[in-house]
Amino acid sequence: MKKMIFALFLIIALAACGSNETGLKQVDNETVQKLVEGEENGFFLAVSNKDEDFIPYLEDALEEKKVKVNYYVTFQPDGEEGEIVDTPVYDFDDLDKKNHLYYIEDGKVSDPLRLTSYDEGTELSLRIQEFIEVHQK
């Protein structure tokens, strides 16, 4: 009986941890459109390559601040489960810069943080954390 209760507790605890949306979340074209139209608010990033040098620093900052960033891969427009395409798909006028971290609220786009402007390391991590703090609610 104790094992059953412990197992149930463990399952509930793990489920709660899994539902906490923090970190990078790859999204599809439709989700980006919802951000642009003001149906959703949040942080946004568009990349062509999932292995950009700044990604580990961004992930660390997101974990530290307990924040989620919707990120869009231009060669995978249908999201993480979608097919990789030969030609990038990206046609969002207000979010015209890749490798920039945006905050979008009610369809209004903040001045972005250019993630490739800083040397990798402490300065980049600090800039990301500062950007998050300014926009975090």
What residues does each domain of the chain span? 21-135
Dihedral of the CA atoms 77, 62, 132, 81 (nearest 10)?
A: 10
Q: Are 99 and 91 in contact (CB under 8 A)?
A: no
pTM exceeds 0.75 = yes
What pLDDT is attached to residue 18? 47
Contacts of 73 (CB under 8 A, 6+ apart): 26, 46, 47, 48, 49, 50
- Give the separation between CA 58 and CA 62, rounded to whole angstroms: 6
Report the CATH architecture of 21-135: 3-Layer(aba) Sandwich (3.40)
What pLDDT is attached to residue 91? 78
Please tell me which residue, 108 or 1, carries the higher pLDDT value: 108
What pLDDT is attached to residue 20? 58
pLDDT tens profile 77-123: 999 889 989 988 887 877 888 999 999 999 999 889 999 988 878 88
Q: Are 72 and 22 in contact (CB under 8 A)?
A: no
